[in-house]
Chain A
Amino acid sequence: MTKISNRDRLRLIGGLGAFSAMNAIAVPAAVLGGSSAASAQGQRTLSWSVNPEPPSLNAAFTSASIVQQVSSKMMEGLCTYDHELNPLPGLAKSWEISPNGETIVFKLREGVKWHDGKPFTSADVKFTFEEILKKRHPRGRATYANLEAVETPDAMTAVFKLSGPSPYIMSSLAGAESPILPKHIYDKADPSKVREVNAPIGTGPFKFVNWERGSHLMLERNPDYWDAGKPGIDQLIVRFIPDTGARVVAFETGELDLAGGFPVGLDDIVRLSKEPNIGVTSFGFAMLGAMHYFEFNMRDPQFQDVRVRQAMAHAIDRDFLIKNVWFGFASAATGPVSQKLANSYSADVPAYPFDPARAEALLDEAGFPRKDDGIRFRITHDPSPYNDRFKRFGEYFKQAMATIGVAVDLRIGDVGTWLRRVWTDNDYQTTSYGIYNTTDPSIGVQRMYWSKNIRKGVPYTNGSGYSNPEMDRIMEAAQVEPDPMKRKALFADMQRKAMTDLPIIPILNEDYVTVYNKRVQNVEGDVAGVYGTFADISIAS
């Protein structure tokens, strides 16, 4: 089989005229001669779109969700998860948690090989957790803070020694979040600079072939995958198409088979879903718990009175947003925890239904009457600039506030500006953004409300400056509570408190979808969706 790289193609084109003989053909004739169309035809190729292009390919060193998507095809975690987010075997066959929650014994899967042929052992697990995830993964420091050591009594057993119960560890072991790395490759002075960070060696169903930056990433089937017979794809092409319109066209012409998240404009998803050969599923995003939050800067004198915050909550029409901005791909949030986190969600919280009259009354009570020009006061709003629906939310918010006499000045900078304004300089009055609950509120929600997490300069921490000792106590208790029922009760308290104090108005749960060509089969086979391994996906031949 002949492969012609991007650069070689250009040299060839160069030979055609543009660059004349200067840098003409450097490709040996022998390489070019044996191109066979026959070998290509039997290939089952899946063309998958990921946007934006990930900056690197190894999710052990970053928690960027875009890196997690591609990394998880090559590298696996100790566990996978079922629909209720309970752990299932992955690289670990089984596990046992001691009653006090301070020891976890993992039995590892036998016969697993790294892509370079070396065997997978408990030494790799020890190295990965102690040297990489705990030290270099942005969320890993917090998740594995209590992990004192990983003991390896034999090659197929790894024992986690914890300084205290950490129930959230068992929900953080997926390959996307905590990938296991081969010790023999990364055991260097600076593991993040090892060449394989961007040409990963893993145990996953797909092997790295090459990465043409700005164009695509090519992966191929791992013939020695431990789950014999899988995956059902020979070639996985990860394409980076920057323009959303172009991605729609690529789906329509059949150039793209699969894309997750909100891969194209939401109205286009509605339209594509009506095409006979295209499927749309919201399955596979439960582990993200994607939400959209609106946040007050609690340092601002105008927001000291809770009635002002309540008034604004009453003035936001979630149904309008769901219908016209999210095109139906969202549901109204009742509190800071997504309804999808069944183990911790609670509906028993103060509610703020859409009621502009009530909003006006609250503002009057709080001492902000309409002035002669009909305006009560002016505020700024900095919506997250990550995508158009967030910006559109800002535009909607401006109009919604205008109806209750609050004048809003929108400020839309780029991402760098926005992050600095909100989390470093606290130079904002209100902001709104998308955020992931992840699989556990102690990881994904606590960070936004915990007064000890007011940390200047760190994005997606407690930026509002909200501080309530009672709230801190509840969340800290939930963090170490080994009993699931007691833990759920603590989370319910937390949600009630959050909706009473209202430093943040949770607006929506975002219902991400995967868009796929129907020739792709078993798209719903893995609860992790595009963050899964793709081992179960196959293509109709």
Chain B
Amino acid sequence: MTQKPSFLSLLLRNKAAAMGLVVLAVVLLTAIIGPFLYQVDPWAITGQTLLWPGVDPAHPLGTDVLGRDVLSGLISGARISLLIGVSATAASVMVGIVIGGLAGYFRGQVDNVLMRLTEIFQTIPSFIFVIMLVAVFHPSITVVVLSIATVSWPPVARLVRGEFLSLRQRPYVQSCIVVGMGELRIIFTQILPNAMAPIVVTASIMVASAILIEAGLAFLGLQDPNVMSWGAMIGFGRTVLRTAWYLSAIPGIVIFFTVLAISLVGEGLNDALNPRGTGQ
């Protein structure tokens, strides 16, 4: 735990990661206070449709097919897209920790059964599976989040299992077992905190990929029609791609920068947390 003070400085020393952090902070701020600063209803149909960016100061980024303001869409989309990314990741990390942890801690038959389960979900082609889930259970935001989580947890489970297997053998854990500490307590106070570093790194990448998956679903027309996410905006703009490409390009670029920022931060975290870097 003595590493802690140097961690942030390590992260910030990495220029790319620092830049990523800045971009991410901007996106987060937009998501939190944006709607208060720019009070335009993203769904409201204004008179002007398909207005290009920069033409009318009332709509700095233009309007879409139905005359909805693009900027306010982006702002409210920031919330939704981050929410989808973070909650899908949170859900899959939780499942991954439970399954991987149980498998790694108890080993034997438990491990065997849970790892087969993990293998099942790793073998099904994940994107096709997500499409199937979302199509079957209607594209609502909850379904999208849960579907993404359903296919995203296996790598976490494998990672956690590996960490648990090795940490379990460490002398300090062994001594806790000898002392007679409860299993849950050992798991939550001794093993899990020490396994968190690689989990955090993996999770950061997963947020990025969840945002990309959501955009992919929206491209295929599988988005929640009541919620303005960046992916949904691309979906709305897709039909007029050739005449009003800015409608897909703007949210596309925003997704690109956000995902890039998250990846940079993730990479920085990785370097800062394990300086030797295993690349895994």
Binds B, one of A132-140, A296-304, A357-365, A408-416: A408-416
The answer on a CB contact under 8 Å between A388 and B66 is: no
Contact with B along A408-442 (1 / 0, CB 8 A): 01111110010000000000000000000000000
B39 in contact (CB, < 8 A): no
Give chain A residues whose Cβ lies under 8 Å from the Cβ of B50: 267, 324
A353 in contact (CB, < 8 A): no
The answer on a CB contact under 8 Å between B225 and A267 is: no
Known: A399-B66, A412-B139. A248 touches B242 (CB 8 A): yes
Known: A412-B138, A412-B139. A395 touches B66 (CB 8 A): yes
A389→B236 CA distance, assembly (Å):
10
Give chain A residues whose Cβ lies under 8 Å from the Cβ of B221: 385, 388, 391
The answer on a CB contact under 8 Å between B239 and A265 is: yes
A402→B241 CA distance, assembly (Å):
28
Known: A392-B66, A409-B226. A265 touches B138 (CB 8 A): no
Contacts of A346-389 to chain B: CB distance below 8 A? 385, 388-389
Give chain A residues whose Cβ lies under 8 Å from the Cβ of B260: none
The answer on a CB contact under 8 Å between B225 and A412 is: yes
Number of interface residues of A (CB under 8 A): 31
The answer on a CB contact under 8 Å between A267 and B240 is: yes
The answer on a CB contact under 8 Å between A324 and B243 is: no
Nearest residue, chain A, Cβ from B138 = A413
A536→B67 CA distance, assembly (Å):
43
Give chain A residues whose Cβ lies under 8 Å from the Cβ of B243: 265, 267-268, 270-271
Give chain B residues whose Cβ lies under 8 Å from the Cβ of A325: 65-66
The answer on a CB contact under 8 Å between B43 and A398 is: yes
Contact with A along B233-248 (1 / 0, CB 8 A): 0001011111110000
The answer on a CB contact under 8 Å between B67 and A395 is: no
Question: Which residue of A267, A399, A417 is within 8 Å of B239 (Cβ)?
Answer: A267
A268→B50 CA distance, assembly (Å):
14
A17→B166 CA distance, assembly (Å):
44
Give chain B residues whose Cβ lies under 8 Å from the Cβ of A414: 135
A17 to chain B, nearest CB (A): 25
What class of interface size applies to chain B in its complex with A?
A: 20 to 34
B194 in contact (CB, < 8 A): no
The answer on a CB contact under 8 Å between A267 and B226 is: no
Contacts of B86-105 to chain A: CB distance below 8 A? none
Nearest residue, chain A, Cβ from B135 = A414
Nearest residue, chain B, Cβ from A381 = B225
The answer on a CB contact under 8 Å between A399 and B225 is: no
B176 in contact (CB, < 8 A): no
B139 to chain A, nearest CB (A): 7
B44 in contact (CB, < 8 A): yes
The answer on a CB contact under 8 Å between B239 and A244 is: yes
B247 to chain A, nearest CB (A): 11
B169 in contact (CB, < 8 A): no
A502→B6 CA distance, assembly (Å):
72
Give chain B residues whose Cβ lies under 8 Å from the Cβ of A245: 238, 241-242
A396 in contact (CB, < 8 A): yes
Known: A324-B49, A391-B225, A411-B138. A265 touches B241 (CB 8 A): yes
B45 in contact (CB, < 8 A): yes
Contact with A along B59-86 (1 / 0, CB 8 A): 0000001110000000000000000000
Question: Which residue of A270, A324, A391 is within 8 Å of B67 (Cβ)?
Answer: A324
Name which of A267, A271, A410 has the most chain B CB atoms within 10 A of its CB. A267
A394 in contact (CB, < 8 A): yes
B106 to chain A, nearest CB (A): 41
A475→B158 CA distance, assembly (Å):
67
Give chain B residues whose Cβ lies under 8 Å from the Cβ of A267: 50, 239-240, 242-244
A325→B50 CA distance, assembly (Å):
11
Contacts of A221-270 to chain B: CB distance below 8 A? 244-245, 248, 265-268, 270
Known: A391-B225, A395-B225. A271 touches B242 (CB 8 A): yes
Give chain B residues whose Cβ lies under 8 Å from the Cβ of A324: 49-50, 65-67
A131→B239 CA distance, assembly (Å):
44
Nearest residue, chain B, Cβ from A411 = B138
Give chain B residues whose Cβ lies under 8 Å from the Cβ of A388: 221, 238-239
A190→B138 CA distance, assembly (Å):
37
Beyond contacts A399-B43, A399-B44: 15 other A-B pairs, Cβ-Cβ < 8 A, are A245-B238, A265-B239, A265-B241, A266-B239, A320-B45, A325-B65, A395-B43, A395-B66, A396-B66, A402-B43, A410-B225, A411-B225, A413-B138, A413-B139, A414-B135
Interface residues of chain A, those whose CB is within 8 Å of chain B, are: 244-245, 248, 265-268, 270-271, 320, 323-325, 385, 388-389, 391-392, 394-396, 398-399, 402, 409-414, 417
The 10 residue pairs across chains A and B that have the minimum distance between CB atoms: A410-B225, A413-B138, A267-B243, A412-B225, A388-B239, A265-B239, A267-B240, A399-B45, A324-B49, A414-B135
What are 6 A-to-B residue pairs whose CB atoms are below 8 Å?
A324-B49, A389-B239, A392-B239, A398-B226, A399-B66, A411-B138
